[in-house]
A = this chain, B = another copy of it.
Amino acid sequence: MSATIDSPALAPLHNFRVVLCQTSHPGNIGSAARAMKTMGLQHLYLVKPDSFPDAHATALATGAADLLEQAVVTETLAQALEGCAFAIGMSARKRGLSHELVNVRSAAHTAINVASTQTVALVFGTEMSGLSNAELDLCQLLAMIQANPAYSSLNLAAAVQIVCYELRMAALEKQNLQDDNLSPHAPPVYASIESVEGFYQHLQETLLHIGYLNPQAPKKLMERLRRIYARIRLEKEEVNLLRGILTLTVAPKKHDKY
């Protein structure tokens, strides 16, 4: 039911490149690789990294070290974008530029559409200063994570994580594979309406028996109880369980050893 890595809906995720420009901390490269792989992206491009390969990157990539091994290192952003049809620059702030600026969710929907047939790049700037104007000029769209304006300092790998997550969600949504309900089991066997009515009847008799329901002043008690249990959508076995309690409420038994 939930989409696997092989689902055709997720194929566009293989058409993305994550491009990290002049990353200072090799650990961030490793964490970004891990973030990518958790969402099903695989192609990492590094423009002039301060240090790569690097043991710190490998350590933080954990099970995503394969992405580091296959990473492409380039001298310029233009080289990293060769073969791409579309490049989205990530910005941590609104910039005084005439680029179209959208939020990441909206960018992800656009990007997934393009990536069904062509390669798309997601371009991240340095940890300190983001993308330069010259780098932005190579992008067709600017996207921003709508962070807390009082503290918008996302870690580089955290930003990569959110962007890749939005791409995966957009891909799943496109194919209606984004399950709101992820419960692992086959859909539960709900009790029939008659059976739930039988429970209400049994409950009412029991409440009369214990004196909770006063037939002279019922005060909408049964309606309020129905409102509680209606929200559960009781399963078949659960009705039996609850009726078992009612039966013993009227005629308690004692266990030998209690």
Q: How many residues on the A side are at the interface (Cβ–Cβ under 8 A)?
A: 85
Instruction: Contact check, B2 vs A212: say whether CB atoms are below 8 A apart.
Output: no
Contacts of A165 in B (CB 8 A): 145, 162, 165
Cα separation A10 to B38 with both chains bound (whole Å): 29
**Contact yes or no, A101 B182, CB < 8 A:** yes
The smallest beta-carbon distance between A34 and chain B, in angstroms, is 6
**Which B residues touch A62, using CB under 8 A?**
153
A154 at the interface (CB under 8 A from B): yes
With an 8 A cutoff between CB atoms, is A232 at the interface?
yes
Segment touching B, from A77-85, A116-124, A128-136, A223-231: A223-231
Interface string of A59-92 (1 = CB under 8 A from B): 0001110000000000000000000000000000
Point out the residues of chain B lying under 8 angstroms from A228, CB to CB. 232, 234, 238, 241-242
Instruction: Judge whether A211 and B252 touch: CB under 8 Å.
Output: yes
Known contacts A154-B38, A158-B35, A161-B162; A149 and B2 CB within 8 A of each other? yes
The reply to whether A179 and B209 contact each other, CB–CB distance below 8 Å, is: no
Beyond A2-B94, A39-B147, A215-B258, 6 extra complex contacts between A and B, CB < 8 Å: A34-B153, A38-B158, A101-B182, A210-B245, A215-B255, A228-B238
